[in-house]
Amino acid sequence: MRLSPSFNRSLWVFHFNSGSCNGCDIEIVAALTPRYDPERFGIKLVGSPRHADVLLVTGPVVHDMADRLRRVYAQMPNPKVVMCIGSCGQSGGVFYDSYNLDGPVGDVIPVDIYVPGCAPRPEAIIDGVVKAIVLLESLEEKQ
Amino acid sequence: MIGMITAAVVGCIGITVYGLLFGLVLQGVDRKCAARMQARYGPPLHQPFIDIAKLLCKDNIIPKNAVTSVFNAAPVIALAASITILLYLPIGSIAPVLGGWGDIILVLYLLTVPGLAMVAGGLASGSPYATVGSQREMVTMIAYELPLAIAIIAIAWRLNAAGVVDPFSLATIAQTPVWSVVGIPGIIGMLLLMVAMAWVTPAELSRVPCDTPEAETELCGGILVEYSGKNLALFTLSGAVKTVAMATLAVVLFLPWNLTWFVPLTGAAGIIADLVFFVVKVLLVVFFSVSLIRVGMARFRINHLVTFYWGYITLIGFAGLLLLVLDAVLGMGVVA
Ligand code: SF4
Q: Do B60 and A77 touch (CB under 8 A)?
A: yes
SS3 B51: helix
**Stretch B273-290: mean pLDDT, rounded?**
87
Q: Which residues pair with A13 in a beta bridge?
A: A45, A54
Supply the pLDDT for residue A1: 52
Strands (E), chain A: 12-17, 44-45, 54-58, 61-62, 81-85, 101-103, 113-115
Dihedral in degrees, nearest 10, Cα atoms B97, B102, B105, B108 = -40
Residue B193 to residue B184: CA distance in whole angstroms: 14
pLDDT over 60 at B269, yes or no: yes
Residue in B closest to A37 by C-alpha: B40
Q: Helix, strand, or coil here: B3?
A: helix
Predicted ipTM? 0.86
What is the CA angle B328-B333-B336, rounded to 5? 60
Q: Could you give the number of structural domains in chain B? A: 1
DSSP bridge partners of A101? A62
- Shortest distance between the Cα of B55 and any Cα of chain A, in A, equals 8
Closest-CA residue of A relative to B45 is A40
Compute the distance from residue A65 Cα to the ligand 1 centre, in Å: 16
Cβ within 8 Å, pair A37-B42:
yes
Q: Is A118 in the pocket of ligand 1 (CB under 6 A)?
A: yes
Nearest CB to B57 within list A2, A9, A50: A2
Mean pLDDT score, B235-245: 90
* Cβ neighbours, 10 Å, residue A52: 26
Cβ–Cβ gap A48/B53 under 8 Å: no
Query: What residues of chain A lie within 8 A of the CB of B51, using their CB?
Result: 6, 10, 42
Q: Cα B158 to the chain's mean position, in Å?
A: 22
Average pLDDT over residues B165-193: 81
pLDDT at B131: 86
| Residue A109: DSSP 8-state | S
Domain that holds residue B92: 2-329
Select the more confidently predicted residue: B174 or A113. Answer: A113
CA distance A96 to chain B (A): 31
d(CA A114, CA B158): 66
Query: So what's the pLDDT on residue B220?
Result: 67
- A20: which DSSP letter? -
B128 close to A (CB below 8 A): no
Residues 6+ apart with CB under 8 A from B48: B24, B25, B27, B28, B31, B236, B240
pLDDT tens for the 143 residues of chain A, in order: 567 777 778 888 888 888 888 888 899 888 888 888 888 888 888 888 888 888 999 988 888 888 899 999 988 888 888 999 988 888 888 888 888 888 788 888 899 889 888 888 898 988 888 888 888 888 777 77
For Cα atoms B241, B239, B18, give the angle at the middle one, nearest 5 degrees: 15
Q: How confident is the model at residue B140 (pLDDT cuts 50, 70, 90)?
A: confident
Look at residue B58 and tell me whether its pLDDT is greater than 60.
Answer: yes
Q: Read off the pLDDT of residues B113-126 as tens digits, 9 standing for 90 and up.
A: 988 998 888 888 88
pLDDT band at B38 (very low <50, low <70, confident <90, very high): confident
Contacts of B44 in chain A (CB under 8 A): 40
Partner residue opposite B221 with nearest CB, options A6, A51, A75: A51
Q: What average pLDDT does range B254-269 have in this prediction?
A: 77
Pick from B161, B160, B149: nearest CA to B105: B149
pLDDT category at B217 given cuts 50, 70, 90 is: low
Q: Check residue A82 and report its DSSP letter.
A: E
Is residue B335 a part of any domain in this protein? no
User: Which residues sit opposite A57 in a β-bridge?
Assistant: A16, A84
State the nearest Cα–Cα gap between B225 and chain A, in angstroms. 6
Please count the residue pairs, one from chain A and one from chain B, whose beta carbons lie less than 8 angstroms apart. Answer: 83
DSSP string, B181-235: T--HHHHHHHHHHHHHHHHHHHHHTT-TTS-TTT-HHHHTTGGGTT--HHHHHHH
User: Which top CATH class is A5-138?
Assistant: alpha beta
Query: Are A37 and B35 inside 8 Å of each other by CB?
Result: yes
Q: Using CB atoms, pick whichever of B35, B50, B219 lies closest to residue A9.
A: B50
pLDDT confidence bin for B76, thresholds 50/70/90: very high
- pLDDT for residue B323: 87
CB B237 within 8 A of CB B79: yes
B284 phi/psi in degrees, rounded to 5? -60, -50
Mean pLDDT of chain B: 84
Domains of chain A, by residue range, sit at: 5-138
